Amino acid sequence: MAFEGSASRCKTADGNPILSWSNLNYDVKTKQHGVRRILNDISGQIYPGELVAIMGSSGAGKTTLLNVLAGRVQGGRLYGDIKFNGATRDPHTFKRMLAFVEQDDLMFSLLSVEETLLASAQLRLSDEKYTDSDKRQRVETVLRQLRLSHVKDSKIGGHGLRGVSGGERKRVSIGMELVTDPSILVLDEPSSGLDSSSAEMVVELTKEMSRQRNLCTLMTIHQPSAEMVAKFDKLILLSQGKLVYMGPASQALSYFENQGYPSTNSNPANFFIDLMTVDFASDEAMRRSEQRVQALVDHFAEYRERDSASQASKGQMVSSHKSFVSGVTTGEIANMPTSSEQDFNTQHLDSKSRNSNSSVSIYDGRSEKITQMAGPIRASITNDITNEVANIVYYEAPPMNRWLNEVLVLLKRDWILSKRNMPLVYGLIGECVVNLIFLGFVFFQLGKDQSSVQNRIGALFSLTVQCTFPVIIPVMTVIMTSRDVLLRERSGGTYRMTSYFFAKSLSFFPLVIAPYYVMYIGMYFLAHLQYDAAKFFIGLANLTAILFAALGFSFAMSMAVRSLEVAHIITPVSLGTLMLFAGNLSNAKAITPVLRWLKYVCIYYYAYSGFVQNEFDGLEFTCTPGAAICYQTGQDVLNTYGLNELPIWECILLNVVLGIAFYALAYCLLRWKAKPRYLWL
């Protein structure tokens, strides 16, 4: 099924807003001021196909309103009512119908643009509706529409890695959402950090997407240019958490003019912000600006009441499309006089941009296409986008894809990421080579005399310890640095958490196992451990078990601790403490009784005990004449160190069990502890 084939979606219920909210109030508790009201009695609605901007000065409450409407606000108290397509929202369905483009572009820096979009499409588009080639085709379409085809093989970049530009990265963020089938697209400050032409391009593209896919798009925006303001269908203007205006963008200037505030700025956005900002320059300026803002808020509340009353008296529903307060829908724009919008545009485009060949376009609501003022790029954007067919909105979340498919997509993505993570790959290989050289040659060709007892003990304990620190710390760092992406994907319901764990662990496993097997084999022959096929493979199994447990420990630690710095302190401290119970630094049978249980949750104890039993069992040593202590057999050594309490197979099995327990703990921590507690209406 092709992108265009989305016509099979259900049509929007005629006349209903896709999202409506009434009397929203949001309070937070602060140490200095006690309870503070951040949003004050905000009502409104938006319709499919609309592009809506939330504007206001810094601290006006734009992001808070956006988060409340997207169901992503945490902490504080939220009152009011929010309806999705006229009904109470179901969190699970809503989060999968909503595409949220965060201000920070949270993506994997090592993936290419195309790989990023493809993973999003493969994970989030239903397998029941789309074949793999449909998904690839959709990615191609979105790449073309968002003008990203020429950089599709470039890496996203970031963290010191050169990648695509800021504007391209933002478009990839948007593309990741647009490859799916959302009903509502929400963007938090999509223009932040972009130059004016990139910002304008982002707004224009989202506008066209909204039109063509009948998608309701809501964004916060900071000081847009006049050209950008002209592209919005509806404006929500906030000041100090209160509504100053909500209605068609094209009528905002005349609305304020009617109240005695004629525009004083060639950019309407600057004019609105100036009008709504409280001036803290002096007490007098503050008093006057606060009075002005309050008058604007009161006037709009009255206006809204009058408008509702007049709608009611005409026998129309309060939420009628043609209500000024409600704003207008795509279809209704066609019925509206365009003069006001054109006035708005022409009044506020400065002469430079009007006359130049720069990328400026005006939306002509009647014909629902962009009237090009200039620029071949704009023309091709428009052509690409208008090829789509839509006018449809989803109200039901698509079913989740099959677990195995999710795992395969994630596994492929994680494997690419692991492979490209050169510091991790080279770090693990380098560490194993260095260990092999030192362990192999410090304990070179061990004999059967008494000193070889101590050397064997040292070699096997070092091997055990080397399987933890150099694995756990880098793997934990990699997981923690990508945790933001995980949380973003999780909040969008992109995949199941079990799929994530399974795929992530499987992708790390070969990366860790391969160099460690080489180290073990090299050390086995250099140190001349007992040459016996069964012992060789039992040792290998024991090594695999501790590496599995170490990876589980990395996951548990990554989920338990929020800050990487803290994790880098806690991890060595906890591993160092656990080492005390391994049976080398203290006698396994003589640990203080109250702490003895700790050896049973100690991965070192099982691995070390397994290695030592495997090696010493069956060995006989020569005694130095006159020596005070002499171990005649390997069994004597095991008895002295107290390391033969559990059989080897049990040691291996228990490390596997501990590994599973760590994974289970990590899963629970992620599911319950790291789960964002969103307030929900």
Ligand X SMILES: Nc1ncnc2c1ncn2[C@@H]1O[C@H](COP(=O)(O)OP(=O)(O)OP(=O)(O)O)[C@@H](O)[C@H]1O
Q: Which residues bind ligand X (CB under 6 A)?
A: 28, 30, 38, 56, 58-64, 75-76, 222
Question: Which residues, in sequence order, are CB contacts of 500 under 8 Å at separation 6+?
Answer: 410, 486
Judge contact between 117 and 156, C-beta under 8 A.
no
Nearest approach, Cβ of residue 285 and ligand X (Å): 20
CB closer to ligand X out of 75 and 647: 75
Burial of 1 (0-12, 13-18, 19+ CB in 10 A): middle
Distance CA 429, CA 462 (A): 17
Give the side-chain half-sphere CA count within 13 A for 139.
25
Q: Residue 104 or 343: which CB sits closer to ligand X?
A: 104
Nearer to ligand X, 28 or 580 (CB): 28
CB-based contact 219:186 (threshold 8 Å): yes
Q: Which is nearer to ligand X, 44 or 659 (CB)?
A: 44
61 versus 190: smaller Cβ distance to ligand X: 61
Q: Which residue from 460, 502, 396 is spatially nearest to 619, judged by alpha carbons?
A: 460
DSSP characters for 494-556? -S-HHHHHHHHHHHHHHHHHHHHHHHHHHHHHHHT----HHHHHHHHHHHHHHHHHHHHHHHH
Contact 391, 210 (CB under 8 A): no
Q: Provide the 3-class DSSP secondary structure of residue 258.
A: helix
Give min distance, CB of 102 to ligand X, in A. 13
* CB nearer to ligand X: pick between 105 and 168: 105
* Closer to ligand X by Cβ: residue 75 or 376: 75
Q: How far is the CB of 170 from ligand X (least distance, A)?
A: 17
- CB of 189 vs ligand X, minimal distance in Å: 7
CA distance 616 to 609: 10
Whichever of 75 and 618 has its CB closer to ligand X, that residue is: 75
Q: How many residues does the chain have?
A: 681
Q: Which CB atom, from 38 or from 121, has the smaller least distance to ligand X?
A: 38
Q: Report in angstroms how near the CB of residue 59 gets to ligand X at its nearest.
A: 4
Q: How far is the CB of 241 from ligand X (least distance, A)?
A: 7
Q: How far is the CB of 44 from ligand X (least distance, A)?
A: 16
Structural contact between residues 512 and 543, judged by C-beta atoms closer than 8 angstroms:
no
At residue 676, φ and ψ (nearest 5 deg) are -65, 135
| Distance between CA atoms of residues 653 and 646, nearest Å | 11
CB of 286 to ligand X, least distance (A): 16
What's the min distance (Å) between Cβ of 245 and ligand X?
A: 15
- Tell me the CA distances in angstroms from 428 to 422, 546, 567, 655, one per residue in order: 10, 16, 20, 22
The residues near 635 (Cβ < 8 Å, ≥ 6 apart) are 616, 617, 644
